[in-house]
A and B are shown apart, each in its own frame.
Chain A
Amino acid sequence: MTDIALTSVPVDAPALPKSRGYLATVGRRLRYDYVTLVFLAVIVLIAAAALLAPLIAPFDPLKTSMAYRLKPIGFRNFLLGTDELGRDMASRLLYGGRMSLLMGLTPVAVASVVGGCLGVVAGFFGGRVNTVIMRTVDVFYAFPSVLLAVAISGTMGGGVLNGLIALTLVFIPPICRVSETATTQVRHLDFVDAARASGASGWRIVVYHILSNVAAPVFIYASSLISVSILLSAGLSFLGLGVTPPTPDWGQMLANLRQAIYVQPLVCALPGIAIFVTSLSFNMVSDGLRQAMDVKS
C-alpha cells in the first residue's frame, strides 16, 4: 500500500473550496442528516410537552379516583387510560417527563463541568497531580455504573437530590478520563509551546488553547451519557430510590403499575415506552452529532 501514496498524487487537484468555520461545517452536515433531525425534533417535542405540562395536561396528575381505577386506553376522557389509583395516565406521563428530563440532563451537565475540569487539571499539570486524580478515578471505575448509583443513593436514601448526587458521581470518572486524554494529547503540541514561548500564562493557555480542543470530545461523550442517565435515573425511581411519590416520574410509574400487568397490560407498558423513546432519541442525536463534529469515539 505504501507505493500507492507515491503514485496517486492528484495531478490537477481541484481548487479547495473556501473554508467555512468549524461550527458552520458542523451545521451544514447536520442539515442533511435527516435521521438526526427527526430525532432532534422528537426531543424538542418531548421537552416542550414536559415544560408545558400544566397548560396541556387534561387532568390533575395527582387527583385520584377510586371509581376510575385502571381504565383502558381511550376510556371516556382518559386518552391513555388511568393508573392503579385512578389518576389520568396522559397527564401523569406529561408531568413525569419533567422529572425524567431533569434527572437525565442535570447529572450529565454537572459531571461534564466537574469531570471536564478535573481531567484538564490532571492532563495539563501531569506528574503527581495527574496520579492523584486519575488513580482516584480508577477506583470508581471498579464499580459498574448501576451498582455505584444504587450503592450511593441506596445508602443515602431515596429522594431527587440524592439521586442527582449519585448519578453525578457516576458520570464524573468517565468524563474525567475523556477530558484527561484529550488534554494530554494537545498539551505537547507545537501551538501550545508557541503560546507559552510568546509569554501566555498557564491560565490563558488552558482557557484559550486547551479548552477549545477538549470541549468537543467531552461534549460528544457527555451527550452519549444522557441516554444512560435517563435509563439509570428511571431505574433508580423504579427501585424506589430517586423520585418519591406522589410526584409522577416514568420509572416510578412503571414500578407502581407492575402489579397491574394482569389487568391493563397496555397501560402498564406506557411509561416504559416514554423512557425508551426519549433515551433512543438522545442516543441517535448523540451519534449524529459525533459524525457531524467528526470526533472519534
Chain B
Amino acid sequence: MLLRALFQIGLFLLLPPLLLGVVNRTKALFAGRKGLPLLQAYYDLARLLRKGAVYSRTTTWTFRAGPAIGLASVAAAGLMLAVAGEPALVSFAGDFVLFAYLLALARFFTALAALDTGSSFEGMGAAREVSFASMAEPALFVSLIVLARATGTLSLSGMLGPGLAPAWSTAAPALLLAAISLYVVALAENARIPVDDPNTHLELTMIHEVMVLDHSGPDLAFILYGASLKLFLFGAILVRVVLGLRFESLLAAEAAFAAGMVGFAILVGVTESVMARLRLARVPQMLVGASVLSVFALVLLLR
C-alpha cells in the first residue's frame, strides 16, 4: 500500500515536464511546425539549474524565497493527489481544502516575489493572477463538493477512488458539469489560453509569465517545474473524473490513466491552437460562468 503510494509520488514528481512536451507538440502540429523534442522541458530545467541567477537591486529575500516556497507548496499538494484511483499517501476528510489552500500559498508568494521587483509589468501580472485566481476558487471548490456529494466522501482520494464508477451511473449530468467547470479552472490556474498565453512576448498582455520575468537560473527552473507539477495535478483530477471506471488490475488502471493524461495534454494543446486569448475583461465572466455551472451541478445533487 505504502509502496504503491510512494510509486505514485514518484510518477508525480517525474512525469509533469513530459506533459508540457505533449502540449507543445500538439500546438506545433496544428501550426504545421516540427516542434520541440518531447523532452525539451527536462533539457530546459537541467540547463537552468546549472546557471547562476541575476537579482535586481530592488529585491529582498522575498524574491529569492518565492520560487522555493511555490515549488514546495505545489509538491506538498501532490501528497494528497490520488493518481489513477489509487489512494494517495495523505488522505483525510477535508483534505481538498488543504490542497486548494496550498496552491493559494504558492500563488501568494509568487505574487509577492513579483511585487518585490518594483516593476509595473510584474505588478500588473501579479494583480491579474491573484484576481483571476480568487474568482476561480469558488468554481474549484463547488466542483470538488459535487464530487464529494456524488461519491459520499470528503477526501480527495475518496472522491477520485472506487466510488466514482457508481457515481457516474447515478449522477452523470452533475459530474459532467463539474468536469467542464474543472477544465475551465485548470486552464485559468495554469495560465493557458483562453485566459493567458504561455508563449506571448508582450509584457503588457501576460499574466503568469510576466510575474516571473525577473527570475532566472535555478529560481526559474523551480518556477517552471512547479508550473508543470500544477498542470499535472489538475490534469490528474480531471482525467480521473472523466475516466471514472473501475479497473481490475493496477497496470490497466495506470495505462488508462497515462492515456488519459496524454489526452488531457492534447486537449489543452488543441484548445490553445483553435482559440484566441480572451480579452482580459472577459476572463472574469468565464470564471463566474464556470462557478455557475458547478453550482448548478450541486443543486442537481442537493435538490
Q: Do A and B come from one complex?
A: no
The interface of chain B, by Cβ under 8 A from chain A, is: none
The interface of chain A, by Cβ under 8 A from chain B, is: none
